[in-house]
Chain A
């Protein structure tokens, strides 16, 4: 079946360092990928997305990299801040074009002051 998974359940980084959160996906038909941030007690918040015809996309302090050859997605956060502490999920649209998303298992990012 379709599966989107993450390599590490918890990532601990020092404030100011860069963070890299990884995600593996299994559906090669997916053409759209999203990273969400979920803070405690809140719903997931859209961070950045990327389409399959791109291999890199940059936002404010965040960069998403897509490697379709190995079906790997990563989120890089520059100069990590305490406010970045949250659970991060990757999601893919799978083989459908119905708006449905398949979520990975999530990585908890802990930022140490």
Chain B
């Protein structure tokens, strides 16, 4: 399994601002994903971060709100733009070891005031 780190681990932000979350993997991986986990709830896939191309977003998530970068096979960023209190969540990146096996980072706990 891969070792995945995220920065920051947590943050408190004011509404209207943006936060960029970084995800670093200790090995090259083809597939990376970003999930949101709202308080007390399950994980919802935001997008698939594709290396060298635009991210693929799930229904209900748009690039203007959650721009994603994937400059290489070990790194990705997710930006939460123009934040509101409803964006308060845990944001998790994951990598796929194979088509199905996924391993998760520790998450970034975001609170928007």
- A residues lining the B interface (CB < 8 Å): 32, 34, 36, 41-46, 49, 89, 93, 97-106
Contacts and interface: CB of A to CB of B under 8 A. Distances in A.
Nearest to A102: B45
Interface residues of B, number: 22
Interface of B: 1, 4, 31, 33, 41-45, 48, 92, 94, 96, 99-107
A43 B42 contact: no
Contact of B45 (A34, A46, A100): A100
Dominant SS at the B interface?
strand
Given A43-B107, A46-B1, A93-B100, A101 B92 contact: no
Nearest to B100: A32
B103 A46 contact: yes
B100 A49 contact: yes
Given A99-B31, A99-B96, A46 B101 contact: yes
21 contacts: A32-B100, A34-B100, A34-B102, A36-B104, A42-B107, A43-B4, A43-B92, A44-B43, A49-B101, A89-B43, A93-B100, A98-B48, A98-B99, A99-B31, A99-B48, A99-B96, A99-B100, A101-B45, A103-B43, A105-B41, A106-B42
